[in-house]
Amino acid sequence: KSWKRRWFRLTGPFMFYYKNDKSTTPLGVLSLSRAKIEWATAADLEGSGAECGMIVEMPERRFILGDPESRSRSRLEEWREAMEFYRAEALESFSLDPHAQSSGSAEEEVPQLNHMHSFSASMLKDCASQSGYLRKKGNIFKTWNRRWFALLGPVLFYF
């Protein structure tokens, strides 16, 4: 495994990662509702330069995160606390119960939804609860077109 420095932004139950803090397009996104978060061992962090770290285990991939600039676990504890909070909130609010009442618009349910315009289909494929091709009837020309859809929490994306 090789270690790469990445910039992370936590937006509700989604953890975006970027090449650096100046990048505007994320390299990927982790849906914390599907993640298992635990502390990394010294063996997990070997070669990273970090003394402490976390593992974010996704169904299809394992992310090992460490902070070589911080000798204290407190900075990572803040990250983990926030991640666990949004994970629990997502599991509660992204209920698949058809009788559950929505508290408002999708923009209110998913924090900072306006920043999610830079999603790509490949990013959504990895974190969506459902994805695939469906047919959608056009609003103007009323023709049926094949589109790729992804359901991410309460938000349905299509391309």
Q: What average pLDDT does range 112-136 have in this prediction? A: 64
Evaluate whether 31 touches 127 at the Cβ level (below 8 Å): yes
Q: Is the pTM of this model over 0.85?
A: no
Q: What is the pLDDT of residue 156?
A: 75
Element (H, E) at 64: strand 62-66
Gap between the Cα atoms of 50 and 45, Å rounded? 6
| Lowest-pLDDT choice from 66-70, 89-93, 118-122, 150-154 | 118-122
Gap between the Cα atoms of 88 and 37, Å rounded? 12
Phi/psi region, residue 75 (left: phi>0; alpha: psi -120 to 50; beta: rest), is: alpha
121 band by pLDDT with thresholds 50, 70 and 90: low
